[in-house]
Amino acid sequence: MLAQPPLWLTLVAFVCALGPLVFFHELGHYLVARWFGVGAETFSIGFGREILGWTDKRGTRWKVGWLPLGGYVKFVGDMNPASVQSASDVPEELRAASFQMKPLWQRFLIVLAGPMANFLLAILIFAALFSVVGTPISNFVGQITKGSAAETAGLRPGDRILSVAGRTTPAYADIYATVSMRPGQTVDLVYLRGDSTRQARVKLGVEVMKDGSNRLTRGKLGVGPSIGHRERVGPAKAVVMATQTTARMVRSSVDALVQLVTGRLSPKNLGGPMKIAQVAGEGASYGLVAFVGFLAFLSINLGFINLLPVPMLDGGHLFFYAIEAVRRRPVSEQALEWAFRGGLAAILALLLFTTANDLGSFGLWERLGRLIG
């Protein structure tokens, strides 16, 4: 195991990871909006005071803020975070380029383009890795832990795990992701032994890990991957495989959300910006390939989170556009204002909660407890 990376590397890796992903996300919004003739007043990476910027010939101010925790595009006609403005408030000379004056389907696609850009970026990263580095063939069982759920299920080295809990597992990462979110649950297992497809129903083990003062639980099957070879593939096949990999990771994110909502997965497993920075630093410590792979994973999560139907996020906008399509008239400005205030409060509360988790994983609460005691 590598030592904890130095603070400077963690900070640099965090900025180098989040900055490009936010830029690509906002670029998706910007390009589709430009395609539909919407003008952009500001394109910002980061929040707060501008530390670098320029204005292009279309009048868009491109800038970098000092706080690298997000970004935004301010379109012509946007008056607040809810992108609300009545038609009467838009000057006549700006109506043709105003976001709010565009048809509903165009506004919907402009908002959707941000998360889709993140998924596209992940596909491009995976496709490049599969073509240049190769893709591991790793759903073969290499080792069996004695007394584990895998041994109870009758698995042997050389078996190929096809699915766990109804989720296909073409790679070891898929096996790990599915199992880790189901501590102590009984799941169906489908595996291949030679030419014979077999099934087993097994109760997964529970592994308790200490992350600072936090105690996290994850499911454990008790298998290790077979160290196989990497197969380089052509560009066309790489894109197909990358798309499938991205789709499986999105499905894993949905699965994790369901496990959290149903209480089967502890909310202590949630991490915030500090944990992202820590993992980015660790990825950078392992080398360029690991760091680039982390970028793809983070891009998928950024796209997925933004699609959640929470006001202030892209998914919240899409939700209200769907209501508008059904009602054939927009939701009232007052309702939108209260909804987005609630969404902002929810996001801030989640940020505080995940930050507390992060600080706990770094051992802060444990050290404070010893000082107070």
**Token digits of residue 219:** 């499911």
pLDDT, position 138: 67
Residue with the two structure tokens 């595996």? 191
The CA-atom distances, in angstroms, between 363 and each of 23, 64, 278, 297, 351 are 33, 33, 14, 26, 18
Among the listed ranges 84-98, 125-139, 221-235, which one has the minimum average pLDDT value? 84-98
C-alpha 341, offset from chain centre: 24
Whole-angstrom Cα Rg for the chain: 23
pLDDT higher than 60, residue 83: no
What CATH number has the domain spanning 138-228?
A: 2.30.42.10
Identify the three-state secondary structure at position 328: coil
pLDDT, position 120: 97
What are the contacts of 227-230 at 24+ separation with CB within 8 A? 227/142, 228/136, 228/137, 228/138, 228/140, 229/134, 229/137, 230/133, 230/134, 230/135, 230/136, 230/137
Mean pLDDT score across all residues of the chain: 84
- Banded pLDDT at 43 (limits 50, 70, 90): very high
Tell me the pLDDT tens digit for each residue of 250-261.
Answer: 988 888 888 888
In angstroms, the CA 184 to CA 246 distance is: 27
Among the listed ranges 65-74, 78-87, 138-147, which one has the minimum average pLDDT value? 78-87
pLDDT, position 2: 47
Tell me the pLDDT tens digit for each residue of 89-128.
Answer: 666 767 788 888 899 999 999 999 999 999 999 999 999 9
Query: Within 10 A of 157 (CB to CB), how many other CB atoms are there?
Result: 12
The CA-atom distances, in angstroms, between 351 and each of 226, 298, 373 are 39, 17, 28
pLDDT, position 358: 76
Mean predicted confidence (pLDDT) in 337-362: 83
DSSP state, residue 140:
B
Query: Which stretches of 145-204 are assigned E, i.e. beta strand?
Result: 160-164, 167-168, 186-193, 196-203
Q: What share of the chain is helix, strand, coil (3-state, %, to 5)?
A: 55, 20, 25
Among the listed ranges 111-120, 165-174, 180-189, 235-244, which one has the minimum average pLDDT value? 165-174
The CA-atom distances, in angstroms, between 348 and each of 186, 277, 343, 344 are 36, 19, 9, 6
Among the listed ranges 57-71, 87-101, 235-249, 305-319, which one has the minimum average pLDDT value? 87-101
| Contact of 306 with 112, CB cutoff 8 Å | no
203: left (phi > 0), else alpha (psi -120 to 50), else beta? beta
pLDDT, position 111: 95
Tell me the pLDDT tens digit for each residue of 209-219.
Answer: 765 556 678 88
Of the candidates 34, 238, 256, 217, the residue with the CA atom closest to the CA atom of residue 133? 238
Residues with catalytic function: 26
pLDDT, position 214: 61
Mean predicted confidence (pLDDT) in 256-267: 80
What are the sequence ranges of the domains in the chain? 7-131+300-372, 138-228
- Banded pLDDT at 88 (limits 50, 70, 90): low
In angstroms, the CA 174 to CA 170 distance is: 7
In angstroms, the CA 77 to CA 70 distance is: 21
Q: Residue 203 forms beta bridges with which residues?
A: 186
Tell me the three-class secondary structure of 91-119, residue by residue.
CHHHHHHCCCCCCHHHHHHHHHHHHHHHH
Amino acid identity at 108: F
Percent of the chain with pLDDT over 90: 32
The pTM for the full model equals 0.77
Cα torsion 357, 359, 362, 365: sign: negative
| Contact of 66 with 19, CB cutoff 8 Å | no
| Contact of 69 with 46, CB cutoff 8 Å | yes
pLDDT, position 212: 55
C-alpha 68, offset from chain centre: 17
Alpha helices per DSSP H over 133-229 = 149-153, 172-180
